[in-house]
């Protein structure tokens, strides 16, 4: 529907593609990697029906946005989000991050605060950290990141097929909770992304958002699938809830990583119930 300029690479502007639908209190949807805003299709209609203004966009390098060679660190991605919100003059918004989008959400609040934010939702969260540690033994380390980047270099399309299997738990859900056609469309969206951007994002898995989430002072919802093979619930959703104990927290039984597709009704039920809650008179997680 539109584009905004967030930077310049050599002779060309860096533009973000966005869609801005409906009216009412805004909900801004931040997609996961290596997908784009099309992955929110099953949330778009319920949100509009509920009377919300829905803004979704493709991060740089993905979907219909520009494909620069760099700028895939969370500071830059959060700055892109800030430019979007500022350009569209969005306020009193609910920011909904999924997977890599939760990193953008956390870093945005950590950097820019919550002046424009009414509430926030973390779905399959990277925060507080996905880096392997004593507190998170199932997290990623530099060797994991390097192996993923090498697989992308060697045969990105073959690697995507394996990845999509784990994003949706296709061995369990194909033909039941996700059709072959939908799985193929998601593979197509991921394959359509910039190979440079796809390879550039995994180092962000090692980012620490502990300080960022300390600045969250608005109502917050955390949703995590119990069967997430990418970001295991013990180290991610449950740890974030421990760090934000006043946040709403809901585990979706059997939910894989992209449960917004396979378990859309369950995700939408929790999301819409959260959005219906009245804003508190004073800020508080």
Question: Does the annotation count 73 as an active-site position?
Answer: no
Per annotation, catalytic residue among 65, 66, 99, 119: 99
Report pLDDT for 278: 84
Average pLDDT over residues 115-122: 98
Token pair in block for residue 269: 């039920």
Question: Which domains does the chain show, CATH number per domain?
Answer: 2-276 (3.40.50.1820)
Active-site annotation holds for 257: yes
pLDDT at res. 1: 74
CA distance 135 to 120: 25
pLDDT value at residue 17 = 98
Q: What is the pLDDT of residue 279?
A: 73
Q: What is the DSSP string of 100-120?
A: HHHHHHHHHHHHHTTTTEEEE
pLDDT surpassing 80 at residue 263: yes
Could you report the per-residue pLDDT of 133-143, keeping only the tens digit for each?
999 999 999 99
pLDDT, position 115: 97
Q: Can you count the helices (H) and strands (E) in the chain?
A: 11, 8
Res 228: pLDDT: 98
CA angle (249 as vertex; 243, 251 as ends), nearest 5: 120
pLDDT at 236: 98
Token pair in block for residue 161: 């097929």
For residue 37, CA distances in Å to 31, 51, 115, 215, 284 come to 6, 20, 24, 26, 29
Asked if residues 222 and 239 have their Cβ atoms less than 8 Å apart, the reply is no
Given a contact cutoff of 8 angstroms between Cβ atoms, the answer to whether 42 and 260 are in contact is yes
Give me 153's structure tokens.
């270099």
What pLDDT score does 284 carry? 41
The candidate with the shortest Cα–Cα distance to 147, out of 161, 134, 159, is 159
Residue 94, both tokens: 């609910």
Percentage of the chain beyond pLDDT 90 is 97
Token pair in block for residue 217: 């002072």
- Return the C-alpha torsion angle 181, 187, 190, 194, nearest 10: -120
Two structure tokens written together for 155: 């045969």
CA distance 110 to 104: 10
> What pLDDT, in 10s, does the model give residues 166-198?
999 999 999 999 999 999 999 999 999 999 999
Q: Active-site residue among 36, 58, 212, 228? A: 228
pLDDT single digits (tens) 195-250: 999 999 999 999 999 999 999 999 999 999 999 999 999 999 999 999 999 999 99
**Cβ of 108: how many Cβ atoms within 10 Å?**
28
pLDDT of residue 110: 98
pLDDT at 74 over 80: yes
Question: What end-to-end distance do the CA atoms of the chain give, in Å?
Answer: 33
pLDDT at 283 over 60: no
pLDDT for position 34 = 98
Please say if the pLDDT value at position 281 is more than 80: no
| pLDDT at position 285 over 70 | no
Is residue 58 flagged as an active site residue? no
Among candidate residues 66, 119, 194, 257, the one labeled active-site is 257
Residue range 20-30: average pLDDT? Answer: 97
């Amino acid at each position: 529907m539109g584009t905004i300029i967030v930077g310049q690479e050599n002779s060309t502007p860096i533009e973000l593609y966005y869609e801005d639908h409906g009216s009412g209190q805004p909900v801004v949807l931040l997609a996961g990697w290596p997908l784009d805003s099309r992955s929110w299709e099953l949330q778009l209609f319920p949100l509009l029906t509920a009377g919300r203004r829905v803004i979704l966009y493709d991060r740089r390098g993905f979907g219909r946005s520009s494909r620069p060679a760099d700028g895939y660190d969370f500071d830059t991605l959060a700055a892109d989000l800030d430019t979007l919100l500022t350009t569209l003059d969005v306020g009193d918004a609910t920011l909904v991050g999924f997977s890599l989008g939760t990193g953008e959400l956390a870093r945005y609040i950590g950097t820019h605060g919550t002046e424009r934010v009414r509430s926030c939702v973390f779905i399959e969260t990277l925060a507080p950290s996905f880096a392997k540690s004593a507190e998170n033994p199932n997290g990623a380390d530099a060797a994991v990141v390097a192996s993923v980047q090498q697989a992308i270099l060697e045969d990105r399309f073959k690697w995507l097929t394996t990845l999509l299997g784990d994003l949706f738990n296709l061995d369990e859900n194909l033909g039941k909770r996700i059709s072959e056609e939908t799985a193929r469309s998601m593979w197509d969206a991921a394959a359509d992304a910039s190979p440079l951007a796809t390879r550039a994002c995994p180092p962000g898995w090692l980012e620490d958002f502990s300080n960022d989430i300390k600045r969250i002072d608005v109502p917050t919802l955390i949703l995590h699938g119990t069967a997430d093979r990418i970001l295991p619930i013990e180290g991610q959703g449950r740890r974030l809830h421990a760090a934000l104990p006043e946040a709403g927290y809901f585990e979706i039984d059997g939910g894989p990583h992209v449960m917004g597709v396979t378990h859309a009704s369950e995700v939408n039920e929790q999301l819409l119930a959260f959005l219906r809650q009245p804003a508190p008179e004073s800020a508080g997680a």
